[in-house]
């Protein structure tokens, strides 16, 4: 007798894209870039395992490095975890975060990286730096904030060392409680892996009733998991001039938003 469940095959899953925006400028040379490479190896392996056991979403990874300009490591768009192999990055150049934001804004669209036949969940975006911007990023930041894929994404920021512009990272992720600062490179690697897995699991299970899925919640979970407090990570306390709505609250409001002339958003599948 035919088995209808077997015959129909695997139920289609929405895609969850995990974006890494990584500083590979000259100041990252040495132990910092080595730690990033090892952290990304571990994150890749963890995501590959998670992808095999995740019935809620199909995981894809995209990596954008920025230095003197920016470059997609995943140059053909987000890759399936089974297809992705981490290749070590090299440090050099300046810190063109504005260029990275501009490129990310362009690709956060169903006409580019978020095109999917089964629909796409709000992405996870992890941003890391150890320095200050060497280009003007104000216009790029204002523009990407108008991108609703970015606005409703789960964003987490990492600040490595004592010489980074914490305010810059907070202005990008939109919440000081979603930023981790640490000079401990071994701790950074462990936190990067934990943040990657935790945010991916939470977003995979996101529903419009879920009010807990946002960057600050993920960071708080990390603090508890590693028995840390703000002094351990030097978590910064900068607040934006205008507070952004929490990601989970925004998700609840999406269906009630007035229609806009935006074909990139109208066909979003939840």
**How far is it, in rounded angstroms, from Cα 132 to Cα 15?**
33
With respect to residue 39, please indicate whether it lies within any of the assigned structural domains: yes
Contacts of 236 (CB under 8 A, 6+ apart): 159, 166, 167, 170, 176, 179, 181
pLDDT score recorded for residue 4 = 45
Q: What is the DSSP letter of 200?
A: H
pLDDT confidence bin for 253, thresholds 50/70/90: very low
Q: Does the residue 261 lie in any domain? A: no
Centre a 10 Å sphere on the Cβ of residue 265 and count the other Cβ atoms it contains: 17
Taking residues 32-39, report their average pLDDT: 99
- Beta bridge partner(s), residue 62: 19
DSSP state of 264: H
Q: How confident is the model at residue 11 (pLDDT cuts 50, 70, 90)?
A: low
Compute and round to an integer the Cα radius of gyration of the chain: 18
Q: Which domain holds residue 119?
A: 11-77+91-252
Residue 23 placed within a domain: yes
pLDDT digits (tens, 9 = 90+) for 136-174: 999 999 999 999 999 999 999 999 999 999 999 999 999
DSSP 254: G
Nearest residue to 128 (alpha-carbon basis) of 226, 225, 220, 195: 195
Strand-pair partners of 65: 22, 71
In order of 7, 9, 10, 11, 12, the CA distances from 3 in angstroms are 6, 10, 13, 14, 18
Q: What is the pLDDT of residue 100?
A: 99
Pairing of strands 124-129, 14-23: parallel
* CATH assignment of the domain containing 35: 3.40.50.410
Domain count for the chain: 1
Report how far apart, in Å, the C-alpha atoms of 122 and of each of 43, 59, 78, 165 are.
19, 12, 14, 27
Q: Is the pTM of this model over 0.75?
A: yes
For residue 219 the two structure tokens come to 């960071």
| Lowest-confidence region among 12-16, 68-72, 154-158 | 12-16
Q: Is residue 270 part of a domain?
A: no
**Residue 239 pLDDT > 80:** no
Distances (CA, A) of 144 to 121, 174, 256: 18, 12, 22
Tokens 């056991």 -> residue: 53
- Single out the residue of 208, 200, 198 nearest to residue 249, CA to CA: 208
Q: Report residue 230's pLDDT band, with 50, 70 and 90 as the boundaries.
A: low
Residue 264 belongs to some domain of the structure? no
Count CB-CB contacts under 10 A for residue 76: 7
pLDDT at 157: 98
- pLDDT tens digit sequence for 115-130: 988 899 999 999 999 9
- Determine, yes or no, domain membership for 134: yes
**Residue 257 within any structural domain of the chain:** no
What is the three-class DSSP state of 65?
strand
Tell whether 226 is covered by a domain: yes
């Amino acid at each position: 007798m035919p088995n209808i469940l077997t015959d129909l095959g695997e139920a289609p899953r929405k895609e969850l894209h995990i974006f890494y925006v990584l500083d590979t400028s000259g100041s990252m040379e040495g132990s910092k870039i080595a730690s990033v490479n090892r952290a990304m190896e571990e994150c890749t392996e963890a995501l590959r395992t998670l992808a095999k056991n995740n019935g809620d979403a199909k995981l894809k990874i995209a990596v954008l490095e920025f230095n003197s300009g920016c470059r997609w490591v995943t140059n053909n768009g987000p890759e399936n975890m089974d297809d992705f192999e981490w290749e070590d990055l090299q440090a050099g150049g300046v810190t063109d975060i504005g260029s990275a934001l501009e490129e990310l804004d362009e690709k956060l669209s169903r006409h580019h990286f978020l095109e999917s036949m089964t629909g796409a969940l709000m992405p996870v975006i992890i941003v890391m730096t150890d320095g200050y911007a060497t280009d003007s990023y104000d216009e790029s930041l204002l523009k990407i904030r108008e991108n609703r894929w970015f606005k409703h994404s789960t964003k987490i920021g990492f600040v490595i060392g004592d010489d980074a512009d914490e305010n810059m990272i907070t202005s990008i992720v939109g919440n000081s409680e979603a930023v981790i600062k640490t000079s401990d490179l071994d701790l950074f690697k462990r936190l990067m892996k934990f943040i990657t897995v935790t945010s991916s699991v939470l977003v995979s299970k996101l529903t419009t009733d879920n009010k807990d899925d946002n960057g600050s919640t993920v960071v708080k979970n990390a603090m508890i998991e590693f028995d840390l407090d703000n002094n351990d990570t030097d978590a910064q306390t900068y607040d934006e001039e205008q507070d952004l709505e929490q990601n989970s609250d925004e998700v609840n409001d999406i269906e009630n938003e007035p229609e806009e002339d935006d074909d990139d958003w109208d066909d979003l599948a939840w």
